[in-house]
């Protein structure tokens, strides 16, 4: 098994052939757990990769209590499953309290070091379906029931993601940085801290970002939205004055690929709308498959491809089932904490799908680290910092293992692992079409909240954001990031 051993900034080995990489590209999608998307990847092979490496996937025996004395087993979502690409049918709870409930069966924070039994997913989803049925800002796919949270996609249902995972390196022990929702995890991805925040109420951050760090070191960076100005461009206040940057759209990214002019570091965003390609539940997962395909093919056909490392990941689990308890022992980035949560940032979030893609990676790799610290989103920062000799942003990325040693090949591969893959199509707009998504409302709100200086990065963006619709602003202001939960249902004994 390829394994990394280092922290992010170079006291031990773990570099591999990282020096051959001149371009790191990150695509971060939304709100899916590892088991939900990749748990069945090697199930037909007994959870062993063709190389002989073990893979921590599903056996089919995983289950959760249903809250009524019974249990619900994990089950496969196949291409023939009704509404397969809109599963699990609604938007599961994803905040800090909801995550506690899913992992521990209680919204109350666990005692330090307590292993998570991972038995509250069905009961928490049952509660979520109850309140969402009464809230007009949410839509639930007709026929959705709590047991659907145990559904997990087969490789046949996600042929693009699965082909990349088997064709390059899949990380089966990569965890979200925080056991909570989107904005804190995206902040950790870009700045190795959320400044103490564990919910989506904070929408911009003044902590130093990786973009400004790269610019100060004379390196280039780019942030690309899909069809609108990217949210991340206005998420971190130092981006307004950072040098060396480009802010653009997906078509600009494709043009940079074709011209062989990729920046040193690229951060890609999906379309955040309810009919977009973010793969946020209950939006169209097939559209996300198309986006992944398009990013890979743009990179593979680029003159920059032999020197490129593409990181495909998801910001957080989104309330979707996973069976592996998140580890304790996370390094707090700073001393900031948000009341009333009082979370110490000492444990990681739920496993999320992450695939490392490069012509310098051997096919069929299952990649983990041998470090006592697992891979998480700040490992991206650690790897970028190691490659371009940058200082860590916080104590978290200083402690994070880098993954440069996944690059074991010296001669770039020339094969196309998607050559014979057909991208799936869902066939409908989905149950949430017509609503304004939470992140789209934040994206449209941020340019009003954050005024960028006329720097090179700001000036390079030639597609201005549209005016903020009143409905979108209202949706952002009224969004309940974490509805007050009823007392958790005690876990029933397994049958």
pLDDT digits (tens, 9 = 90+) for 390-400: 999 999 999 99
Q: Is the pLDDT confidence value at 477 over 90?
A: no
Q: What is the pLDDT of residues 319-350, one digit of tens each?
A: 999 999 999 999 999 888 776 677 999 999 99
Task: Report residue 438's pLDDT band, with 50, 70 and 90 as the boundaries.
Answer: confident
pLDDT more than 90, % of the chain = 78
Q: Which residue has the tokens 């809250």?
A: 67
Q: What is the mean pLDDT of residues 453-460?
A: 43
CA–CA distances in Å: residue 465 to residues 201, 234, 469: 22, 11, 11
Task: Report residue 307's pLDDT band, with 50, 70 and 90 as the boundaries.
Answer: very high
Least confident of 78-87, 127-136, 427-436: 427-436
**pLDDT of res. 447:** 61
CA–CA distances in Å: residue 188 to residues 24, 129, 191, 378: 17, 29, 5, 6
Q: What is the mean pLDDT of residues 214-223?
A: 98
**pLDDT of res. 471:** 53
Is the distance from CB of 317 to CB of 31 less than 8 angstroms? yes
Question: Can you read off the two tokens belonging to residue 153?
Answer: 């996609």
Least confident of 132-136, 155-159, 309-313: 132-136
Question: Which domains occur in the chain, in start order?
Answer: 3-478 (3.40.720.10)
Task: Report residue 490's pLDDT band, with 50, 70 and 90 as the boundaries.
Answer: very low
Reported as half-sphere exposure (CB side, CA atoms, 13 A), residue 301 has a value of 14
Other Cβ atoms less than 10 A from the Cβ of 86: the count is: 22
CA–CA distances in Å: residue 423 to residues 72, 153, 211, 314: 31, 15, 33, 19
Q: What is the mean pLDDT of residues 132-151?
A: 95
Is the distance from CB of 101 to CB of 160 less than 8 angstroms? no
Q: What is the mean pLDDT of residues 37-49?
A: 97
Is the distance from CB of 296 to CB of 418 less than 8 angstroms? yes
Other Cβ atoms less than 10 A from the Cβ of 448: the count is: 12
Q: What is the rounded CA–CA span in Å between residue 483 and residue 495?
A: 31
Q: What is the pLDDT of residues 6-23, one digit of tens each?
A: 333 333 345 789 999 999
Q: Is the pLDDT confidence value at 467 over 50?
A: no
**pLDDT of res. 94:** 93
Say whether pTM exceeds 0.85: yes
**pLDDT of res. 1:** 39
Question: Can you read off the two tokens belonging to residue 292?
Answer: 């992944």
φ, ψ for residue 76, nearest 5 deg: -85, 140
**pLDDT of res. 451:** 37
Q: What is the pLDDT of residues 146-201, one digit of tens each?
A: 999 999 999 999 999 999 999 999 999 999 999 999 999 999 999 999 999 998 88
Task: Report residue 262's pLDDT band, with 50, 70 and 90 as the boundaries.
Answer: very high
Task: Report residue 436's pLDDT band, with 50, 70 and 90 as the boundaries.
Answer: confident
């Amino acid at each position: 098994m390829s394994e990394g051993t280092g922290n992010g900034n170079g006291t031990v080995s773990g570099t591999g052939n990282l020096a051959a990489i001149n371009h790191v590209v990150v695509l971060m999608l939304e709100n899916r757990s590892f088991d939900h998307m990749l748990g069945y990847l090697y199930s037909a092979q007994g959870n062993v990769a063709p190389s002989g490496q073990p893979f921590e996937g599903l056996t089919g025996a995983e289950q959760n209590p249903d809250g009524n004395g019974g249990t619900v087993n994990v089950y496969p979502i196949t291409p023939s499953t009704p509404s397969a690409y809109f599963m699990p049918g609604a938007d599961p709870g994803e905040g800090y309290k909801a995550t506690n409930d899913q992992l521990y069966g209680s919204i109350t924070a666990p005692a330090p070091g307590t292993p998570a039994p991972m038995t509250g997913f069905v009961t928490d989803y049952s509660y979520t379906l109850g309140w969402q049925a009464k809230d007009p800002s949410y839509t639930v796919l007709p026929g959705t029931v709590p047991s659907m949270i145990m559904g997990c996609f087969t490789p046949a249902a996600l042929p693009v993601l699965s082909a990349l995972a088997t064709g390059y390196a899949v990380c089966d022990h990569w965890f979200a940085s925080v056991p909570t929702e989107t904005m804190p995890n995206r902040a950790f991805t870009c700045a190795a801290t959320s400044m103490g925040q564990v919910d989506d109420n904070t929408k911009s951050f003044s902590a130093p970002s990786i973009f400004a760090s790269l610019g100060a070191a004379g390196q280039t960076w780019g942030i690309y939205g899909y069809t609108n100005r990217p949210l991340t461009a206005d998420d971190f206040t130092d981006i307004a004055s950072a040098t060396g940057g480009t802010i653009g759209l997906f078509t600009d990214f494709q043009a940079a690929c074709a011209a062989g002019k990729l920046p040193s570091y690229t951060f890609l965003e999906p379309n955040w709308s309810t009919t977009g390609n973010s793969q946020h539940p209950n939006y169209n997962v097939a559209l996300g498959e198309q986006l992944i395909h398009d990013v890979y093919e743009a990179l593979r056909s680029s003159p920059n491809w032999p020197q490129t490392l593409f990181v495909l990941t998801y910001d957080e689990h989104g309330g979707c089932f996973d069976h592996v308890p998140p580890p304790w022992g996370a390094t707090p980035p700073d001393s900031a904490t948000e009341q009333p949560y009082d979370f110490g940032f000492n444990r990681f979030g739920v496993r999320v799908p992450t695939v490392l893609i490069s012509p310098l990676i051997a096919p069929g790799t299952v990649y983990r680290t041998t470090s006592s610290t697992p891979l998480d989103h700040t490992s991206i920062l650690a790897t970028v910092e190691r490659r371009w000799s940058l200082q860590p942003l916080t104590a978290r990325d200083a402690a994070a293992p880098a993954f440069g040693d996944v690059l074991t090949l010296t001669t770039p591969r020339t094969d196309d692992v998607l050559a014979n893959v057909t991208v799936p199509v869902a066939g409908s707009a989905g149950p949430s079409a017509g609503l304004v998504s939470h992140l789209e409302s934040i994206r449209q709100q941020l340019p009003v909240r954050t005024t960028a200086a006329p720097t090179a990065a700001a000036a390079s963006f030639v597609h201005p954001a549209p005016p903020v619709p009143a409905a979108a602003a209202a949706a952002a202001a009224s969004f309940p990031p974490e509805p007050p939960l009823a007392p958790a249902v005690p876990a029933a004994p397994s049958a």
